[in-house]
Chains A and B, each alone.
Chain A
Amino acid sequence: MSHNPNQKICLIGLGQVYESIAADLHAYASPDTHWLFRPIGHVGLLESCADSVLSSIPQGVSLFVAVDGIALNYARMEIFVPAQERGLPMVNLIHKGACCSPDIQLGCNVWVGPGAVIDYQAEIGDNVMINPMARIDPQARIGNHGWIGRGASVGSCASLGSNCIIGDDVHIKAYTSIGKQCAIAQPGPWSQNITDGTFAEKSIWAPSRVIGEGYTFNTSCHAEESA
């Protein structure tokens, strides 16, 4: 919860996170905070309107970008990254019903929904959405642009690369290491270490993975010659 008395915050985006913040403003900032809203009609408009929306924000206003729905993490970046590149100030929105240990590290544009718990020395990157009732255990690390589903948990010392999607009620066990760009959407415990671009879904059964440049090989890597 932000305690800056004359704070001005602009909420940009669409989807459930946007709606839930807009419906509960007092739970995120003091009552005298001045709120501005930039709702976006459709996820397909993000790219084309990013510049004009960001230019319309008055000096001294901090931003929070909330986009979810289809392609949630990547779509949110279409506003988040240009805002960051312009050096615009961004806030974290932590619901007053969430519980965060004082020694955690948070990037910017982090949402912590009601009932979520972030335990001691956890490290959360930029642009991470932590949904209601989720739990981040001691010393867990979550990379940038992550999505932690409702009721999900990340066990102590577990680490998640950037752009990971952890679905609702997924429980990543302590010390598990998850690469970047992974999606685990199979409710229940998960303790397997997985490499970049791995997907585990209830409806797929078998883990799937991204193959190609940057995942299973690197063009720039001069792998040791057999010659």
Chain B
Amino acid sequence: MKSPLSPKHYLSEEIFALEQKNIFRKLWIFAGIKPALAAHNAFMTREIGGVPVLLQNCSGKIRAFENLCPHRLMPVQTEEFGQTPMRCVYHGWTFNPDGTVRTIPTERHLYNYDAETRQSMCMKQFAVHELGNMIFVCLDDNPLPFDDQFTPEFQEKVAEASMFFGPHAIHSNRRLDFNWKLMFENVIDYNHIPFIHPKSLLPAIPTFRHMFNNEKQEQPALAQISHGPEPVELHQLSFTRECFIDQQPYYWTKHAVKHYGRIDHYYNFYIYPNVNFTCVMGVAFPIQQYHPISAQKTQIRLTCPSVTVDNEYAKRHAANLRSVLLGEYRVMDEDFDALLAFQKAVHRDAPIMEQGHYESDLIAMAHVYKSLLNA
């Protein structure tokens, strides 16, 4: 089967601009986790769809704004994470929880705005949806109903798993030179595991060991998006998969108060368009986000939340999360090498990909993607 996508979908800046407009500024996009914002005035800043976004806890409610001061368009919060009231660093304007301007130092002497202008000035506010401990933002003025993007069953699962997050997380950003779609497609394409991860992932996952050794073994069936000839819809693109894992738990996680699901399972929650949220052995919850920077540049945003533990020393030691982060990068580095090689080699006149039966999910996803792009 020919892929619905052509090489230009991984190369072209015009297509990237369309993606930003029709996907990242239209859909609900995962923005961050609640434990990172769990106090008044705790905030985080990031970019979504080319727009600077500020998430700020305003007296317990998480709000999202365009992080631009209406005065001279300075970012209101300049750090990536922190805890300060919304006050612009440049001329000291402060803001209300709804984004309107609260105070302007020396307003009467220097600014002299008419009443209408003064009232209309504000930071633009965006729609926020909390799903368990996961925060989603939609930049569109008429946000898509959340249920149109994610099925109620999927929402329930993500909410349930994310409620196991502890009070900390380790977060890291890394830029790589390949198109963001490659990484999302890559995590759904399980068939690369024996070739790209023969030493890291394959030995830990009996589901794949058995599959590739043609052994029959009782195991969870790999979930698929498409089951028949009917066209796939947006809400089907976010789905879960699970399989066995037989790795030794990290030492510190043995103190986990509770674990999600089965301790011998590896769960994937694929959140369209660009998140792979996983749960490893019920206690580690790495969230990978493939954030587009340009047609050929992606920021890998990796957040590994802690789990609640009952050991005094382990509790004080967020540093233990380092082992989860290192484990994630160990596997992802192997993917990155492959995807960087793809991006280097592909060119505008390269042939169309030939996809096999097992790639029906990717084909279905590509059809939805194209219809979003041309909407």
Contacts and interface: CB of A to CB of B under 8 A. Distances in A.
B36 A212 contact: yes
Interface string B253-282: 011000000000000000000000000000
B39 A210 contact: no
Interface string B138-177: 0000000000000000000000000000011111111100
Interface stretch (B78-86, B183-191, B228-236): B78-86
A201 B313 CA distance: 23
Interface of B, secondary structure class, is mixed
A225 B168 contact: no
Contacts of A212: 35-36, 38, 167-169, 306, 318
A223 B333 contact: no
A186 B105 CA distance: 46
B95 interface: yes
A209 B313 contact: no
Contact of B318 (A81, A181, A221, A225): A181
A78 interface: yes
Interface residues of B, number: 54
B314 A74 contact: yes
A56 interface: no
B148 to A, nearest CB: 31
A60 B39 CA distance: 49
A160 to B, nearest CB: 13
Interface range on chain A: under 10, 10 to 19, 20 to 34, or 35 or more?
35 or more
Interface of B: 35-42, 44, 81-87, 94-96, 102, 167-175, 250-252, 254-255, 302-303, 306, 311-314, 316-323, 325-326, 329-330, 333
23 contacts: A47-B311, A70-B250, A78-B311, A183-B319, A197-B319, A205-B174, A206-B172, A206-B175, A208-B302, A210-B171, A211-B169, A212-B38, A212-B167, A213-B39, A216-B81, A217-B37, A217-B39, A217-B42, A219-B38, A223-B85, A224-B85, A226-B94, A227-B102
